[in-house]
Every structure is written in C-alpha cells, then in structure tokens.
Structure 1
Amino acid sequence: MTPALRAPLQTGKLRPTSLAARLAYKRLAHKRPVLLVRGALSDLVEPEQAAWMRRAAPTLQYTEVPNVGHAPMLTEPEALAAIRQFLSRLP
C-alpha cells in the first residue's frame, strides 16, 4: 500500500468500519454489481468486515486469495477465476 493511502488509516482519520464508509458501501453495492477480491492475510479488510460486506450486499460476489495481503495482484488463479466469472455475468 502506498503511503498516501496508508496515512488516513494509520492516523485514524478514516476507518473502514465507520458509519460513513458503511453507508457509502451499501449505496454502491445496491446500485452496481460488486466483486470483492480479498487477500486472506489482509489487515485492512478483516474477515469480520468482509462478512459484513457480504451480508449488506447479498448479490456481492466474493473470493479470497490465500497467502496474500491486502492487495492481491489479481493474477492469482483464484482472483482471475473470480474476475472472469464476474465479467461473464455482466450485461
């Protein structure tokens, strides 16, 4: 993660569990198809947060890339398969 993206999280100015973040996510997830590709070792989107995201947007497509931190490269077999499946379902 680049320092510019990391700073708000480290300083506490932005929390992924904040009410504003949750409301923005719900609004986005109900208007558009969403695919969440989560690195299993992520320290920013923890399993509990991913579970909340999945409950908040029942149509969310989800995949977890094992042995990867927060930002999968999207070239991992799990990520590629999820992306292909997600794109194949779009109109």
Structure 2
Amino acid sequence: MPDDPLALITTVELTWIEKKVERWLRFGRPVADTILDRQRRVLSFVPGSVFAFVRWAANEYGTVESHIDIVRTVGSGEDCQTVSCVQPGGEVLLHQ
C-alpha cells in the first residue's frame, strides 16, 4: 500500500458551460467534491467505486460529442484504461 492514501484516489473533472460543454455524473458516490470555479469542479472516488460519466459538447450546428462511460475506479497496481477527464483512469464497464 502506498504511503500516500491520496495516491489511490480517482478524480473526475466536471464542466458545465451551458449549451457548449457539459460533463457531469449520472450516478456514483464521490468521497469529496472540490469546486474549482463557477463552471468546473472535481469529484474524488475511492478504489472500487462505480460511476457513470456523461460527456456532451455542441457547436453552432448541434451536438459534436455525446458519450456515457460507466467506470469502476481501480486500486494501486491495477490495470486501467484512459478516460477523458478521469485521472488516472479506470476499468471501463461500458462506453457508448
């Protein structure tokens, strides 16, 4: 086990810029919620947590990105996949 328990934490950066960029949590239980500014915040999860992360973006012509990822956070030494805005990543259970 690492000396720093924060090394096991997975963070997810949420962004909300109305009608342009929306990155939000559909379900999950974070252990911490840090507000960075009016449009961004960071949620923290312990290993083994499961959450659904929605990513949506648009331009003047309409939707350019729409994804949902269901992710299980991983512990130290476990393999993980990269997911946009999720550090260090996680086990992707569903990507759509």
Please report the TM-score for the alignment, with normalisation by the length of structure 2.
0.24
**Greater helix percent: which structure?**
1
Please report the TM-score for the alignment, with normalisation by the length of structure 1.
0.24
**Greater strand percent: which structure?**
2
